[in-house]
Structures are given as structure tokens and as C-alpha cells.
Structure 1
Amino acid sequence: MSDIETRLQNGVLEVHFNRPDKKNAITEAMYTALAEAFVRARTQADVSVVLLTGQKNCFTAGNDLNDFLDHPPEDEQAPVFRFLHTLADFPKPVVAAVNGAAVGIGTTLLLHCDLVFSGESAKFQLPFVNLGLVPEFASSYLLPLRVGHAKAAEWLLTGKTFDAQEAKAAGLINQVFSDEQFLSAALHQAQALAAQPATSLLLTKRLMKQPYMAQTLQIMDEEGELFRRRLNDADFLAAVERFKSR
């Protein structure tokens, strides 16, 4: 069984984080699989929409820190950055179904999804500063655009955990459903999108993202360079030791 599972049905490619014993913490191999899934989906005629999800009780706890230290991203060709770029300019609609932990990239990747549905038990967190790091996935740019500077600063500078209702009120996600219904609601919406005229979907998404895309990619690269530097900083290494000693 793969840590990233895919299933295609009725024009919807479901991409599942599938490492529940580790709270879907993402490894280098998982980033490779994610990037490859989106690269294939980009040109697959029978894929109209991608649905990204995890399990009922966990989306993803973010990067697997041990694996991250064993395989630090050395340049923009690293699997993690390849995935970031692949999702950032993915031309087809992406729907996310989120519940439980959505930590770090588990929250920032939502900024690159078109519709986000969550369960009522979803918990979001952006703990980059707490770890001695900096934001990634253009979140330092896109999050203030999405939710305003004050709320973005509250989330990014403090690393606080916030719930689904706060995320919805701020505009990060679209709707909150019960823990039993969030995935079926997201799948229903993905299927409804897949039934729409495909070219119109592509053109409409492109028109919405075009004004921000160049800046998004530039900021992603700037964040990535700073992020890589911080991996060797004493603050990050001390944070990792605290994490390991829990």
C-alpha cells in the first residue's frame, strides 16, 4: 500500500495522503509521488478535477522532520519544491477535503486549491517561526491577500492552532461540514465541477490566477532559498531536538 494513493472515477482524480500511523507526515518519497500524480493529471484527458484529501481524522501533520533532515532540499529540483511548483500552476480545478491536523504545508497548500471543505474537527497551524523557519509555498504573499494582513500575521507570527470555524470566517476555506460528511461533500462538489464544460473551467481558473501567478512563483523561490538556509540555523536544529525529546 502506497503512502500516496490515487483513484480516478468520473473525471475526478482522488489523491489521498495514506500514512495514518505517522499522521500523514510527508516524506521525500511522498513529495515525489505527489508531484508525479499532478504532472500526469495535467495532461490526462480523463482527469477534469483533482480531489486532495487524507483520512477522516487527519489531513497531514506537515513534513516528516526526521526524513526532512535525512533528505534536506538542496535546490529547486528537490521533490518538495517540484511538488510546490506543480500544484501552484496546475491548470485544472483542485478541491481539498480536510479534517484533523493540517500543519505547515497541510495549511499552505490550501492556498493553491480552488475549493476547500473541512470537517468540524479540522485544526490548522503554520508553525514556521516556532521551528526557526520561514513560510513556504508563497504563503507570506498569498495568505495576507486571502485573509488580510492582521489575520495572516496572527497565524504566521505566533504559529497558533486555529479551528475550522476560524478558518472559514477568515476566508481560508469554503465550508465546514460534520466529520462524517466533509469528504462526501467535497467529492460531490468535485464531481459537479467535472461535469462542467472542461475548457470553460480551465479558462476561468487561468483568468483568476493569472494576475498573481508571476509574483506567486517569484515569492515561492525567495521563500525556498531562505527556507533552505534556515535548515542549518541553530534555532531550527534546537527546535528539532525539542521535538525529538517529546
Structure 2
Amino acid sequence: MTEIIQRLNNGVLELTLNRPEKRNALTEAMYIELRRALNDAKHDPDARVVLLSGQKFCFTAGNDLQDFLTKPFDEDDAPVMQFLKTMADFPKPIVAAVNGPAIGIGTTMLLHCDLVYSGDSAEFQLPFVSLGLVPENASSVLLPLRVGHNKAAEWLMLGKAFGPQEALQAGLINAVFGDENYLHAANQQAQLLAAQPTEAIQATKKLMKQAYMSFILNAIDDEARQFQKRLQSDEFRHAAEAFFAAREKA
């Protein structure tokens, strides 16, 4: 069973995270598959828009910590780094449909989507500091720009979980729908984008992002260097031990 389901539907490439037994926690293999799918879509004229989603009540719990600890991104060409940069610089529209947990990268990747829709049961969280780590995916730059410094500090420094209405009011997502309707609503918007003139859509996205694209890519690298240092810290080691101990008791 593939952990990334791909389906091309009327110009929309649907990418569905499909590891429900682990709450869609992302592994190195999944990053490789996601990057490959985006690269293929970049050159496929039939794939005009990407729609990213998870299961009905789970987007993603973030990185699979066990997998991540055995394959840390200590190189620029590590699969997770390649995926982050590919998504950040992807030329076609990306729509996200989010419900259930959207933890860590499950929230930061939304900053690189053009439209984001959620269900009522979505729950967002950026627990990097709580794990002794630092933000990733240029979120230390993009999140304050998107929602303001104070709200970004609340989410990034306190690791506070928040729901869809708070995400909507802060400007992280576009709209909230019922749990039964959010994916359909997101797909409708993706179909509307796919029906727009392709070259004009891509030119518009490029114009919107070109002023700060190099800044974003540099931020991804800067954060990765700090992240890697934090992985060697006592703070992270203690946090990881507590995480695995709590999981064993659950």
C-alpha cells in the first residue's frame, strides 16, 4: 500500500497522505515520494494544480520522530530538504485540505500553499521549542509575516495548539468547512484554479513570490543548520526520551 496516493482528476493532481496507522507521520520515503510527485507535476501539462490532503480526521502528525532520528537531515541533499525546497519553489498552485492533527511540518507546509481549507476538527500545532528544537520550512520568517510577530511567537515559542477558527482569524487558512465538506470544498477551489488560463496563473504566482523567494530558500537552509545543532542538544534528548516514554504508556 503506497503511503502517498496520487490521482489526476480534471487537471488537479490529488496527493493524499496515506499512513493512517501512524497518523500520517512523514518518513524519509514519503518525502522522496512527495518530491518526485511534485517534480513530475511541474513538467506535466495535464497537472495544472496540486491538491494535498490526508485522511478525513488526520492531515499529518508531522515528522516520524523514530525515522527522523535514524536519518537526520545533515546534508543539503537530504530528502526532507529537497522536498521543502521543491514545495517552496513549486510554480503551479497548491491547495491544501486539512482536518485532524496538522503538527509541525503539517502546519509549516501550509505556508507554501496558495489556498488552504480546513474541516471543523482540524488542530494545528508547532511544538518545535517544546521538543528543544527550532522552527523549520522558513516558518520563522513566513509565519510572522503572515500572522504578525505576537501571534507567531504564541504559536512557535509556546507550542500552543490552536483550532481552525483561530487559524482563519489569523490568516493562516482561507476558510473552514464541516468535516463532511472540507475536502469537497477544497477540490472545488482546485478545479476552479485548474480552469483558469495556465500560463497566467503560473506567472501570477511567480510575481507574488519572486520578491522573497531567495529569502525563503535561505531561511530554509539557516533553520536547517540550527535544527541540526539542536538535534545534538541535551534539551532535545530529554524531550525525545519523554516523548517515547509517554508513547509506550499510551
Q: What stretches of structure 2 of length at least 5 have no aligned partner?
A: none
Q: What displacement does 1:214 show?
A: 1.1
The aligned residue for residue 100 of structure 1 is 100
Give the match's secondary structure for 1:42. helix
| Structure 2 match to 1:12 | 12
User: Could you list the per-position Cα deviations for residues 195-232 of structure 1 after superposition, in whole angstroms to 9, with x for gaps in the alignment?
Assistant: 11000100000011111111111111100111111111
Which residue of structure 2 aligns with residue 151 of structure 1?
A: 151
Equivalent position amino acid for 1:153 in 2 = A
* Mapping for residues 19-168 of structure 1, pairs under 5 Å: 19-168=19-168
Q: Partner amino acid for 1:132? A: G
* Distance in 1 between residues matched to 2:200 and 2:103, nearest whole Å: 33
Give CA-to-partner distance per residue, 1:161-207, whole Å, 9 cap, x none. 00000000000000000000000000011011101100010000001
TM superposition shift of 1:237? 1.1
User: What is the alpha-carbon distance in structure 1 between the residues aligned to residue 234 and residue 2 of structure 2?
Assistant: 35
2:184 corresponds to which residue?
A: 184
Counterpart code for 1:29: A
CA distance in 2, matches of 1:143, 1:23: 24
Q: What is the CA–CA distance in structure 1 between the aligned matches of 2:36 and 2:229, rounded to whole Å? A: 26
Counterpart-to-counterpart distance in 2, 1:14 and 1:229 = 35
The residue identity in structure 2 corresponding to 1:10 is N
User: How many Å separate the matches in 1 of 2:128 and 2:243?
Assistant: 14
Where do 1:205-224 residues align within 5 Å? 205-224=205-224
The letter of the residue matching 2:71 is H
CA drift of 1:152 comes to 0.4
Q: Which amino acid aligns with 1:233?
A: S
**Aligned amino acid, residue 21 of structure 2:** D
Instruction: Output the amino acid matched with 1:187.
Output: N
Which moves more between the two structures, 220-229 or 97-106?
220-229
Residue in 1 that maps onto 2:175: 175
Report the AA paired with residue 107 of structure 2: T
- Does residue 1:194 correspond to 2:191, yes or no? no
CA RMSD of aligned residues (A): 0.6
Structure 1 residue ranges without an equivalent (≥5)? none
C-alpha separation between the residues in 1 aligned to 2:114 and 2:243? 33
What is residue 237 of structure 2 aligned with on the other side? 237
Task: Determine the C-alpha separation between the residues in 2 that align with 1:5 and 1:229.
Answer: 34
TM-score scaled by length of structure 1: 0.99
Structure 1 outlier segments of 4+, above 4 Å: none
Equivalent residue of 1:58, what SS? coil
